[in-house]
Amino acid sequence: MPNNKVTYGLKNVYYSKATEATDGKWTFTTPVSLPGAQEFTNDIVGGSTNVNADDQIILSLSQLAGRTLTLKLTELTDEFKVDILGYKKLTNGNIVEITNAQPVTFALGFEIQGDLKARRIWFYLCSVTPINESSKTKADSIEVNAITLNITSRPIAINSKYSTTHVTSCLGDANYESFLTVAPVVPTIEE
């Protein structure tokens, strides 16, 4: 199938809690929907360095240490606050922010459309900073609030030679239909 000329849209956002075993392997839980996605961006953590000698560049070194993700939502679910941000739910239904909660590692998945084929993506080993919330009074028009999640996605080992921050499934791939609704798995690549 030919490649997209353009991509657009953002929908079907999910998160999946991650657990590291004693052998360093990661497993993920069944994904949970995170509705209200408005915008997603990602930036590389790392960069490149040129090595100069004999009045020329003799080597270019690059480092990809992870990615910084930003996800903007219309609202954040109580489930995400409890599962990932460490809030506690009380018997009366209230939720309480716990300031010394341990960080929870998770995978973040979502779908982006294209002119020819959609693609679904899982970012592994994500961690999120505490959230800021704000609101304004209504005036002549209503301005809708938004919550921004600042997320770091660090690399996950595939084997002793390779690591990755994310995996992508495109429309037509064998696992595309179930890609976001079953627990993410680390891809297998032969060394």
As given in the structure block, the two tokens for residue 172 are 């037509």
Most confident of 4-8, 47-51, 136-140, 167-171: 167-171
Q: List, for residues 85-117, the tens digit of each pLDDT value.
A: 999 999 999 999 999 998 899 999 999 988 778
Q: What global pTM score does this model have?
A: 0.87
CA distance 184 to 30: 8
C-alpha radius of gyration, the chain, whole number: 20
The answer to whether residue 78 sits within a structural domain is yes
Candidate from 7-11, 56-60, 131-135, 158-162 with smallest mean pLDDT: 131-135
Task: Tell how far CA 162 is from the center of its chain.
Answer: 20
Nearest to 154 by CA among 84, 86, 71, 64: 64
The answer to whether residue 52 sits within a structural domain is no
Q: Give the CATH number of the domain where residue 19 resides.
A: 2.30.110
CA distance 183 to 18: 10
The answer to whether residue 55 sits within a structural domain is no
CA distance 94 to 99: 16
Query: pLDDT value at position 1?
Result: 60
The answer to whether residue 86 sits within a structural domain is yes
Q: Tell me the average pLDDT of the chain.
A: 89
What is the total count of domains within the chain? 1
Q: List, for residues 46-56, the tens digit of each pLDDT value.
A: 677 888 888 88
Domain span at residue 164? 7-46+66-136+145-170
The answer to whether residue 34 sits within a structural domain is yes
CA distance 62 to 51: 11
The answer to whether residue 178 sits within a structural domain is no
Contact 85, 97 (CB under 8 A): yes
CA distance 11 to 111: 5
- Residue 27 — pLDDT band, cuts 50, 70, 90? very high
The answer to whether residue 24 sits within a structural domain is yes
CA distance 179 to 183: 8
Most confident of 116-120, 133-137, 173-177: 173-177
Contact 42, 64 (CB under 8 A): no
Q: 64 pLDDT exceeds 90?
A: no
CA distance 43 to 64: 10
The answer to whether residue 189 sits within a structural domain is no
Contact 155, 161 (CB under 8 A): no
Q: 84 pLDDT exceeds 90?
A: yes
